[in-house]
Structure 1
């Protein structure tokens, strides 16, 4: 592992620096983009949504409010009340004509003189100060404004949750004649707001001056919750209800999410319009895009680095091959031999094998070169190496030692010279391909068993002396050097 790191240290360092740069750049971009998105939401998105909601809610609330104002100033109804309410059917018919327009689900009139509650179906009841359901009327009697908006159950319409616009009726002297108004079905308004929220991906609330949620997409239960009871928003209730000043930009955190809020006062309704957006949700798409871009850039970088590493590895393998392989024969050279020898010896020790060293030399190679030329000589060396390699086992080593000399290192389990004899035999029986005159050659082999603590130089020297003895004995033969402990010049055994 440490060797691999050392070889590719520069590439690894550059890769880590580039990855770090990509991550830092992605973080800086995300921070800048999130700030821009946050600023855009707070300064443009939420206020523009509020403007759009206000303009579109005009038909839902402001037009019924205008209708209530018109009928409150209708001289026909004022005269009817002043004339003693002689024909209740006139009032019912009048109120029935109002229903169904501008989303109005019902209309009503309460006379101050008779306390009768008129609606499209006739007289509903007589209001009483002692009835809790009638407190709204007595509140309207004493209010200073011309109208109020109230949420209540419409008992004339099946007990449906309704938004009532209650408008005072006055005579020419400013005396109270009664309260007239219209009702808007709260579920329909909540459904409309839910459609806006789905369209703009933001939460919308209408809050009255006391902090009560008058209109939202929440379930249409009564009584409506107060701003102070809503998680997160409760901490901002003071700032929201502090006064009808310029639009406010607020924010709060809840359950790990950050919410941006725009608040504006609607003087026509006396309400505050709140538009809220989950910033965490708004940034989710940006975060996904940044992470995707980061993953793609990192993957591209890693692919490039892998391509560079593969190219470097192939280049290094080629250089290593050039440095450790004999280019003519494909055999190991001396440098590779010395590099692989320690590991090969450890393998022999683990398997209780005795290293066997063979020194081989092509007989009369100089005459072949002189007669047929160096091209034939090179061909002879290549084919000889192939023949030798074909007889070796996987752990055996074949080294071109120099000129026409080769060394074979093989694991031996006794005085076994069968490998050396096979090598000699296959070469002597082979007709060289591409050489003229059906050329054949022979090899001489000097063989020794290498036991520790004998040095490599000593073992090679003994094998070389055995090779010399094979040459002197007539060539095309194997000579085995005697053991190192009893070695003496000329003490060889011919096989």
Structure 2
């Protein structure tokens, strides 16, 4: 890592590690949470819903089935059929009494001998193999089971789709006397399922042995399970033998569904309860997003605070490494670091590098007479004064002790800047501890042109400064011109 980010390498690495930790932790949290939700749905939610529905089915369907079985074994009806079905009003009153006692709306009896269809209102019709509406009867008289369940239109109740329990009626010798049973309006059963679906937030429906959806909350006509999106591959597994509940899953329209199936032997139906797992995981998704947002925000705030602190201390460290702590001037290390760039800037602008060596006159006497604390104040104020007279492109360096070096790009001003600096210092009054002090400076000035080295230029400026000291101080002296040393002729 290089460039401006190299200074923050450690902070960025730590932040990335923390961010990775946040996402890994969030992923583990989501994985565990989704597993818990899935386990709760499959092992508890769906089975408990199935148990509840089974108990409700016991009231809605199994009890009417018991009523149909009771009617099929009623000796009164058997004797009435054997005696030639005299006085049909008696059977009509019987069926009406059954309806009233058990809250059933569609009890009926079809005689095998006369093929008459009896209901609470009397005789509805005579069934015939040629009538498509009567196919159910001729199917029921052929089955080996005691009863079957069909969906058909109830002509005694305005043609409403009704769930009929058709129970075979046999005499003591096993001879078929007829088919008797009850009808349950499909809409009432579907409404019960819809209420349970609303309560449990799960889909509930029943399929028969052939794989038809015979009852669900929609109240529509039967549909085959294999034709339903996502369920085609599960139909055979659901209808496979065994009474143990089955736990299955499938996908539809981008959602994942968990499903349990259990056989109801009395009806020959399978009860299916399913739940949209994708929808159930949405609260977990939302919690995960909020958790990630909060943790990421906290991390960003901490990172900003850390970077700000690092930047502050790095700036402070750079300042301490490159700046004289007493005067705020550049130190020699910073000067050497900035010098190549400064020389290139002079070359671009056509300025001639000019070096000034500045020394405070009689500074040792200031320290001896007034103390080092006042001496330090003098150094600070002189440095501030020099800085105020320079341009932004000029360099002010504390060279050591009471000596300063100034590098300026000259455009023909010669010693104008040096005189301005000398005059400004001479006029300045230092006020310290109730005392007013004035000091002066001596300056050595030289023009620095390649190929002269920095050391050579400093040495010439130092000689000029020495000349200013010897000449009475508080003055500017020019260094002798640079004289390159000729290389020996081979």
Alignment TM class, shorter chain as reference: 0.7 to 0.9
Tell whether the 8 Å contact from 2:353 to 2:410 is kept in structure 1 after alignment: yes
Equivalent position SS for 1:314: helix
**Does 1:463 find its partner at 2:461?**
yes
Residues 69-88 of structure 1 mapped to structure 2, 5 A cutoff: 69-74=69-74, 77-78=77-78, 81=81, 88=88
Alignment match, 1:360: 358
Tell whether the 8 Å contact from 2:230 to 2:250 is kept in structure 1 after alignment: yes
Alignment match, 1:189: 189
Please give the per-residue CA displacement for 1:326-352, whole angstroms capped at 9, x wherever unaligned.
121122211121122223333333333
Tell whether the 8 Å contact from 2:452 to 2:484 is kept in structure 1 after alignment: no
Residues 315-464 of structure 1 mapped to structure 2, 5 A cutoff: 315-415=313-413, 417-434=415-432, 436-464=434-462
Offset of residue 39 of structure 1: 4.2
Equivalent position SS for 2:141: helix
Does the C-alpha gap of structure 1 residues 134 and 341 become closer, same or farther in structure 2, counting only changes over 3 Å? same
**Does 1:158 find its partner at 2:153?**
no
Alignment match, 1:220: 219
**Does 1:265 find its partner at 2:255?**
no
Tell whether the 8 Å contact from 1:64 to 1:103 is kept in structure 2 after alignment: no
Offset of residue 132 of structure 1: 0.8
Q: Say what the alpha-carbon RMSD is for the aligned residues.
A: 3.3
Alignment match, 2:208: 208
Alignment match, 1:127: 127
Does the C-alpha gap of structure 1 residues 435 and 416 become closer, same or farther in structure 2, counting only changes over 3 Å? farther
Q: Distance in 1 between matches of 2:352 and 2:189?
A: 98
Offset of residue 424 of structure 1: 2.7
Residues 108-119 of structure 1 mapped to structure 2, 5 A cutoff: 108-119=108-119
Equivalent position SS for 1:474: coil
Tell whether the 8 Å contact from 1:99 to 1:105 is kept in structure 2 after alignment: yes
- Higher mean alpha-carbon deviation, 322-331 vs 77-86, is at 77-86
Q: Distance in 2 between matches of 1:153 and 1:390?
A: 106
Does the C-alpha gap of structure 1 residues 247 and 364 become closer, same or farther in structure 2, counting only changes over 3 Å? same
Does the C-alpha gap of structure 1 residues 182 and 272 become closer, same or farther in structure 2, counting only changes over 3 Å? same
Does the C-alpha gap of structure 1 residues 261 and 384 become closer, same or farther in structure 2, counting only changes over 3 Å? same
Q: Distance in 2 between matches of 1:181 and 1:50?
A: 27
Q: Distance in 2 between matches of 1:110 and 1:126?
A: 8
- Higher mean alpha-carbon deviation, 298-307 vs 237-246, is at 298-307
Q: Distance in 2 between matches of 1:375 and 1:404?
A: 14
Alignment match, 1:49: 49
Tell whether the 8 Å contact from 2:324 to 2:330 is kept in structure 1 after alignment: yes
Offset of residue 266 of structure 1: 0.9
Does the C-alpha gap of structure 1 residues 481 and 135 become closer, same or farther in structure 2, counting only changes over 3 Å? same
- Higher mean alpha-carbon deviation, 204-213 vs 473-482, is at 473-482
Structure 2 residue runs without a partner (length 5+): 486-490
Does the C-alpha gap of structure 1 residues 126 and 411 become closer, same or farther in structure 2, counting only changes over 3 Å? farther
Structure 1 residue runs without a partner (length 5+): 488-495
Please give the per-residue CA displacement for 1:117-176, whole angstroms capped at 9, x wherever unaligned.
344455433322101111011112222323221112233333322222222344555544
Tell whether the 8 Å contact from 2:359 to 2:403 is kept in structure 1 after alignment: yes
Q: Distance in 1 between matches of 2:311 and 2:60?
A: 74
Q: Distance in 2 between matches of 1:205 and 1:61?
A: 14
Q: Distance in 2 between matches of 1:412 and 1:104?
A: 115
Offset of residue 84 of structure 1: 5.1
Alignment match, 1:493: none
Q: Distance in 1 between matches of 2:68 and 2:409?
A: 112
Equivalent position SS for 2:210: coil
Equivalent position SS for 1:348: helix
Offset of residue 96 of structure 1: 4.6
Normalised TM-score (structure 2): 0.86
Alignment match, 1:199: 199
Alignment match, 1:107: 107
Equivalent position SS for 1:234: coil
Aligned residues: 485
Q: Distance in 1 between matches of 2:295 and 2:192?
A: 45
Q: Distance in 1 between matches of 2:349 and 2:89?
A: 119
Does the C-alpha gap of structure 1 residues 428 and 56 become closer, same or farther in structure 2, counting only changes over 3 Å? farther
Equivalent position SS for 1:338: helix
Normalised TM-score (structure 1): 0.85
